[in-house]
Amino acid sequence: MKFRLLLVIALFWSGFVAVYAQDEPPANWFNLDPATDSVPGVGTERTYQNLLKGKKSRTIIVAVLDSGVDYEHEDLKEVMWVNADEIAGNGIDDDKNGYVDDMHGWNFLGNKNGENVNHDTYEVTRLYKTLKAKYEGKSVSSLSESEKKEYAKYEEYKKVVEEKRKDAEPKFANYSAVFDAVKSIEKQVGKDSITLADVKKVKAATKDKLQGAVTDILIQAMGSGATFNDIKAEVQELYDYYDKQLNYAYNPDYDSRAIVGDNYADVNERYYGNNDVRGPDSFHGTHVAGIIAAKRDNTIGIKGVADNVRIMSVRTVPDGDERDKDVANAIYYAVDNGAAVINMSFGKGASPEKEAVDKAVKYALKNDVLLVHAAGNDGKENDFENNFPHDKFKKKSLFGLKFAENWIEVGATNWQGGENSAASFSNYSKDLVDVFAPGTSIYSTAPGSAYKNADGTSMASPVTAGVAAVLRAYYPNLTAKQVKDIIMQSVTPVKEKVYQPGSEELVPFSQLAVAAGEVNLYKAVQLAGQTKGKRKWEWGSRDKKSNGKEAIAVP
């Protein structure tokens, strides 16, 4: 039974709790088949049983650009990429790729002393801080026309940051007090397993108004089946959220970059960071990695989508917005070290150094590496100005392309299907989002050899990356563009109208994505088997003297 606590503390410490149970899908629903299991998964198990059994494949490296991966997880440790040209722990860059002891990948959010960035600001906060230093106190009439446009952006960013801080301040204060009350109750009871009877005793003895209100909430929630630890975790989640909003994400005075110690203004700087690919909070990246590649042939945990891959962890995303410089460098690193598929489950609303990211995307395109990107969780329609990164180049590529042909954008589907096929939180666009894939109640790996559910296009993207990895492993002559085209052409069509995310309007699925359907591995493998491959590049081949700037063509 799954419980979700909705805790609301008003100004006078009154509150209420609503606990409800909901039906749940099978834990492995994203791997099940719409035709044979009546669940809108991608058909992984059916594919291995009926189409790929006994077939040979080549090992594929999938780079996970994320918060970090727990490479010691019981279901991941055997599928982690190992840099065979590096000697672990000797403090020497044995393979001379510019990164010392990069055994499982690299961390662009740390320094050589082993310190790591955890929290970071949002991009809007960074832009506000930069423009505030330039325009605060200036008269608009004294500005040039180009400066007036920039000043208008300053005013826009200022409004966002100040309103967010104004909203977060009282909520952070409230939830701080509530969290303290919960911890105080725990201390008073003085044991690990706290019962409803224990809470009632605290209620009877307390004279504190806030603690009395909190015990009322606990009694009601625990009476409905929740445990004390369930509720404590929910309260801590709310506390952590507003702590992040106020003290980090929208705090223009917070500067995480001092930890890294790079020359942040130099977007061409490549060699900084450390080899701690797990980082301080690897939940997100570990969950993503498990969806793609959790060991399929053991008897523990879960089964990832792909059966012959190695996960390369490239730590790029803090608890806040990723930075363009780090994203670009993470792509370069992944390409140069052999990745055939790169998963990017992150995004933000502005990209001040988009050209640096574009340059790295073009590098991946030149080297035939597929980029899979999550569309975002705002329940909005994506365009080229409200969601980054995306596949449109600021300047045309060296091939004269305006768009990255090696890029696939992924929205999230719901396990219930039908009118609710599109997840209510998923971003969408009939022109910019390519496909949808399972993204709700996805059960996958979590740090410490644990397993948890998570929702998001962040989960739909690695499902799709896993499908792409299967195609690249079993059909290695397919180019990145061919793999993308096959995935889009082989979707399970959603023919009925669905609720448009963020609204109650029923629309054709064609209004939400270019390919009006859900990713289907079974159909994709069938189509791949009928497609003549055009691939001419060896992943990760590079001229050692050029520090990975050129790829080498192979026959």
Which residues have CB under 8 Å from 155's CB, separation 6+?
none
What does the pLDDT average to over 486-495? 97
Q: How many C-beta atoms lie closer than 10 Å to residue 536's C-beta?
A: 11
The catalytic residue among 66, 102, 243, 336 is: 243
549 or 400, which is more confident? 400
Which residues have CB under 8 Å from 168's CB, separation 6+?
242, 245, 246, 250
Percent of the chain surpassing pLDDT 90: 89
The token pair at 464 is 């799709």
Check: CB of residue 345 under 8 Å from CB of residue 461: yes
Q: What is the pLDDT of residue 536?
A: 77
Q: What is the pLDDT of residue 554?
A: 30
Q: What three-state secondary structure class fits 289?
A: helix
The token pair at 75 is 């279901």
468 or 542, which is more confident? 468
The catalytic residue among 441, 444, 458, 461 is: 458
Q: How many C-beta atoms lie closer than 10 Å to residue 284's C-beta?
A: 23
Q: What is the pLDDT of residue 279?
A: 97
d(CA 94, CA 88): 9
Q: What is the pLDDT of residue 13?
A: 37
d(CA 552, CA 537): 7
* End-to-end C-alpha distance for the chain, whole angstroms: 56
Range of lowest pLDDT (3-7, 131-135, 442-446, 469-473): 3-7
State yes or no: is 243 an active-site residue. Answer: yes
pLDDT at position 551 over 50: no
Q: What is the pLDDT of residue 540?
A: 67
d(CA 109, CA 273): 6
The catalytic residue among 73, 104, 284, 390 is: 284
What does the pLDDT average to over 158-173? 96
Q: What is the pLDDT of residue 537?
A: 64
324-363 CB burial, b ≥16 within 10 A, e <16: bbbbbbbbbbbbbbbbbbbbbbbbbbbbeebebbbbbbbb
What does the pLDDT average to over 248-266? 96
Range of lowest pLDDT (96-110, 347-361, 408-422, 533-547): 533-547
For tokens 């108004």, the residue is 209
Is pTM beyond 0.85 here? yes
State yes or no: is 458 an active-site residue. Answer: yes
Q: What is the pLDDT of residue 398?
A: 61
pLDDT at position 12 over 90: no
Q: Mean pLDDT score of the chain, rounded to an integer?
A: 92
What does the pLDDT average to over 429-434? 98
Q: What string of H, E and C letters represents the secondary structure of 294-358?
A: CCCCCCCCCCCCCCCEEEEEEECCCECCCCHHHHHHHHHHHHHCCCCEEEECCCECCCCCHHHHH
Q: What is the pLDDT of residue 19?
A: 34
pLDDT at position 457 over 80: yes
Q: How far is CA 135 from CA 121, 138, 442, in A?
A: 21, 5, 46
